[in-house]
Chain A
Amino acid sequence: MLRRTFNALAISAALLTVGAGFAAANETLKIGVSASKTGPLTAGATAVYWPNVKLWVHDVNQKGGIKVGDKLLKIDLVEYDDKSGPEEAVKNIQRLATVDKVDFIVAPYTTGINLATAPLISRYGYPQLVATGNANELEAFVKRWPNSFWLLGKASDLSTGIVATLKTLRDKGQIGNKVALAHVAEAFGLEMIQSAKPAFKEAGFDIVYETSYPLGTQDLAPVISGAKAAKPDAFVAYSYPPDSFALTEQARIQGLNVDAFYVGVGGALSGYSQRFGKQVEGVLAMGGINPGDEVYKAYRERHKQVTGQDADYWASPVVYSSLQILEQAIVKAGSTDRAAVVKAISTGTFETVIGKVSLQNNLIGRVWTVGQWNNGVLQGVNGLGVDGAKAPVKKPAWN
C-alpha cells in the first residue's frame, strides 16, 4: 500500500510538470503569486492585494512587457490560493519555485504568512517585497533573511504615528489627555499595542481604558460602552476591517463623542467612507495619502478603470509600488538573475506611485502612518519622510 503512495506521488508530480511545460514555450517573464482567495484573509486580499497584482500585470503587458537586457518580456502570471494559512502558503511557494520554476514571486498577503514563508522564499533566492505586513523586530529579521524587504514600515512606526498626531492636537489645546485603547487579539493588534503603550505613556497621555477583543467579533457594544464610561478625550483602536466598521457604528450609536477617533486597518478603505458617508469626516485611520499628488491621482483612476474597484488610501498604492520596484529592479539588473535583482532593490532608488523610494537596511523610510477623513478622502496627517501632510484637526461630534 505504501508503495502506491510513491507511485501516485511520482505520477502527480509528472502531471504537474507536463502542465507547467506548456507555458514556458514562448519567452515570457514568469511571475508567481500565492495569496488568499478563500478563508478569513480573503476579504482584505480582495480589497488591496489582488486588484493591484492584476493592474500591474495589465499595465506592464500593455506597454509591451519588462525590458530584461535587450528583450522585452511580457508577464505570465501563475496564481495560487493559500487558503489563508501558512501550510498551503509554504506548499504554494515550493510549487512556484520548483514545479512552475517562476522567475520571481510576489510576496504573499499579511504579516503572518510573509513571516512564515520568508525562510523558503529566501532559500530559493527570490526577493520578497512585503507590502502588506509589518512587525516590530524587523531589523533582526532582515539580518537573518536579507532577501526580504518591508515597505509598510515597522509596526512601531505605524502604531506610534497616532501618538504623535494626538500630541499635536493636545499641544494645540484641541484635545485632552485621556486615551481609551482597544486592539484585536491577533498578530497585528498585538504588535501594535506592544509599541504603542509605552509611546502613549512617554508622551504623557493617560490611558483610562484598555482592552483586547477576539478576532472576528463584530459585537463590540461592550468595548464602546466601556470606553465611554471612562470618559476619554481620544479613542484609539488597532482594529481589523470588520471590527473597524463595527466599532465606528457602535461609537456613533452610543454617542461616544471624543475629540479624536482612530481605527486601524479598514479605516482607509473606500468602503468605509461609502458606508458611513458624511459621518467619517474627521475620523482618523491608519494609512493616508497625499491627495494632491498627481501620480497617485492617476494611479487611483487607472485602478478604478482596470479593476472596477476603488483603491484604498493606504496599502493599495504600496502593493502597487512593491511591484513597480520589482519591475524597475529587474530592468536595472538587466537579467532575471535573482541575486542581481535583490542587490538592485537594496541599492536603487525607484519611481513609484507613493513617490521616490529607496530602502535602507531593507526597510522603507517613507511611510504614511495616520490619515484623517476630509471631504471623502483620507488625507495623510502623519508619516515618515512623506510630503504633503496636513495638520490634524479636532473631530466634530457624530452627526
Chain B
Amino acid sequence: MQIIVTGTLLGGTYALIALGLTLQYGAARIMNLANGETLVAACFVSFWLFTATGVNPLLGMVVIAPMALVINWLIYAWLLRPLVRRAKNRGMLEVDSILATFGLLFLLQGLMLLGFGGAYFSYRFLAEPFLILGEPYGLNRVVAFVAAVIVASLLYLFLYHTRQGTAVRAVAVDPASARLVAIDVARTAAFAFALGGALTACGGTLLSTFYTFNASMGVIFTMKALIIVIMGGVGDVRGATLAALILGVTETAVASLIDPGLTLAANYALFVLVLLFRPQGILGRASA
C-alpha cells in the first residue's frame, strides 16, 4: 500500500514535469529541449520569493505562472516562429527546433549560472509528515500531488470543453486541416507553447519545495519529461498523466521490492517496451 501511495505521489511530481512539454511538443510542434531550464528557473524564482520576501510558493505561483506565460510567448514569437515559417515539413521543424532549443538550453543555463552560481539551493516548506492510512508522507509532496491533479484537470477541462482548447487540439492533430476550419494556427500554436511554459513553471515552483536544485540540473528534468511525453502519446494530456503515474509506481515498486539501484533502468526499460509495442503512446490511436 505504501508503495502505491509513494509511487502515486512521485507520479504526480512527474506529471508536473511533463505536462508542459506535452503541450509544447504536441500542439506547438516544438521539441523544447530547454523545458527543464524553464522548470529550474521557476525553482529559483520561488526560492528567491520565499527566502527574500517570505512569499509562500503556492501564492508565488500566481506571479510565476503568468510571468512564464509571457516569457514563453516572447520566446515563441521571436525565436521559434521564424523556424516554423521556414520549415517545409514536420521533420525539418523537428530538427530545427531541437537545434534551436539546444542553444536556448545553454543560454538559459548560462544565465542562471551567472545569476545564482552553481551551488545547490533548497529551502524548507511544508516539510512535515502527513498521515495517509496511518503512514507518514511529506506534506509538500502531497500538496504538489494535489496541485498536479488540479492543474491536470483544469487543463483537461480547457482542452476538451472550451473553444480555444478544441482549437489547440485541432492544431495538435493536423495543423493543415485546422486552418481549413478557420483556426488561426500560428496564434494557437504560440498560445499552446506559452501555456506549456507556464505549466512547466508551476511544476518547478512545486518541485522546489522538496527538491534540492542547482542551475545545471535542467537536463535531468527534460529527459524525464521527454520519456513521459512519448510514453503518453504526443500531445495527449490524459496519456501523459497516466504515463507519469505508471512510471512513479513502477519506480517505487522496483525500489522497494527489487533494488533502488535499478529504478532508472526500470524506468527506461518500461519506456523502451512501450515504444516497441505501442509506439503511438499508451492511449494513442493505432494510426497516429
Contact = CB atoms under 8 A, between A and B. Distances in A.
Is any CB of A less than 8 Å from a CB of B in the complex?
yes
A374 interface: no
A244 B256 CA distance: 19
Contacts of A245: 120, 122, 212
B113 interface: yes
Q: Which 9 A-B pairs have the closest CB atoms?
A: A42-B118, A222-B255, A46-B118, A212-B261, A213-B260, A242-B212, A43-B214, A46-B119, A222-B256
Interface residues of B, number: 40
Interface in B191-224: 210-212, 214-217, 220
Interface of B: 2-3, 6, 9-10, 13, 109-110, 113, 117-120, 122-124, 127-129, 135-138, 210-212, 214-217, 220, 251-252, 255-256, 259-261, 263-264
A182 B217 CA distance: 23
Interface string A184-215: 01000000000000000000000000011110
A33 to B, nearest CB: 15
A271 interface: yes
A309 to B, nearest CB: 8
A253 B261 contact: no
B103 to A, nearest CB: 15
Contacts of A43: 118-120, 214, 216
A223 interface: yes
Contact of A213 (B13, B136, B255): B255
A38 interface: yes
A351 interface: no
B261 A213 contact: yes
Nearest to B117: A46
11 contacts: A37-B118, A43-B120, A212-B260, A214-B261, A219-B251, A223-B260, A225-B6, A225-B256, A242-B211, A245-B122, A246-B211
Interface residues of A, number: 42
A325 interface: no
Given A38-B113, A211-B261, A249 B127 contact: yes
Contacts of A42: 113, 118, 214-216
A47 B124 contact: no
A222 B135 CA distance: 13
Contacts of A213: 255, 260-261, 263
A129 to B, nearest CB: 23
Interface of A: 36-40, 42-43, 45-47, 182, 185, 211-214, 216-223, 225-226, 241-242, 245-246, 249-250, 252-255, 269, 271, 275-277, 309
Contact of B113 (A37, A216, A222, A254): A37
Contacts of B110: 38
B260 A211 contact: yes
A332 B2 CA distance: 63
B129 A254 contact: yes
B216 A38 contact: yes
Contacts of B136: 253-255
A253 B129 contact: yes
A99 B273 CA distance: 50
Contact of A253 (B128, B212, B214): B128
A250 B138 contact: yes
Nearest to B14: A219
Contacts of B264: 214, 217
Contacts of A46: 117-119, 214
A241 B212 CA distance: 9
A109 B117 CA distance: 17
A218 B14 CA distance: 13
A222 B248 CA distance: 12
A218 B211 CA distance: 7
Nearest to B220: A216
B6 to A, nearest CB: 5
Given A39-B216, A225-B2, A253-B129, A271 B122 contact: yes
Contacts of B138: 221, 249-250, 253
Contacts of B210: 218, 249
A182 B109 CA distance: 32
A47 to B, nearest CB: 6
B260 A222 contact: yes
Nearest to A254: B136
Given A40-B217, A277-B124, 14 more contacts: A38-B110, A40-B216, A42-B215, A43-B119, A43-B120, A46-B214, A47-B120, A182-B260, A218-B210, A219-B251, A222-B255, A222-B260, A249-B127, A253-B128
B10 A211 contact: no
Contacts of B220: 216
B104 to A, nearest CB: 15
A275 B122 contact: yes
A283 to B, nearest CB: 15
Contacts of B256: 222, 225-226
Contacts of B129: 252-255
B252 A221 contact: yes
A254 B118 CA distance: 30
B259 A212 contact: yes
A363 B117 CA distance: 33
A37 B260 CA distance: 30
Contacts of B3: 222
Given A38-B109, A223-B255, A253-B128, A246 B212 contact: yes
Contacts of B2: 225
